[in-house]
Chains A and B, each alone.
Chain A
Amino acid sequence: DVQMTQSPSSLSASVGDRVTITCQANQDIGNYLNWYQQLPGKAPQLLIYDAFNLKTGVPSRFSGSESGTNFTLTISSLQPEDTGTYFCQHYHGLPPWTFGQGTKVEIK
């Protein structure tokens, strides 16, 4: 089974900082990875699909990249409205697919 290890579990950064969140797969999953944002008290929302494609309407400060089995979500300039929890989700093989454990992003 594919296991996703997401890190860090939480981070605190200042407005304007560059923030990176990583998900590592335990095997090659190609670029079969999505990123979701869950704002406080809200349902998750798809941010990025296929590792680096932004969903329509997502601000361009968000980006995704892939290097081997490591996937990165980057927020180039953290904004107050970005506070929330971010999850990765792979879709390698057949479902069920698993999510990462989440990264809680807070503003200093």
Chain B
Amino acid sequence: KAGVTQTPRYLIKTRGQQVTLSCSPISGHRSVSWYQQTPGQGLQFLFEYFSETQRNKGNFPGRFSGRQFSNSRSEMNVSTLELGDSALYLCASSLNRNTEAFFGQGTRLTVV
């Protein structure tokens, strides 16, 4: 069974631009969560989607948004990029909302 797939693996953007990251969960998994990982803050929860609805949101500004499609694939978008948005963005999929999460390899975003 294929794991969680995130694309692209690496991305370089300029301040002020916007970016869209993609996540394909494990087949059959319905819950997708996003996390930001930085050296200073560690792994921080961004948001969770289940059945195409955002179910939970972390403490991030409105520039961070996401969505989930009917096939459970998810995208997250960051608008008006800031230097501090440089991070490893990780997607995790779960069979349901209360089951263990499996992570993708992440997208390394660098904002210059």
A binds B: no
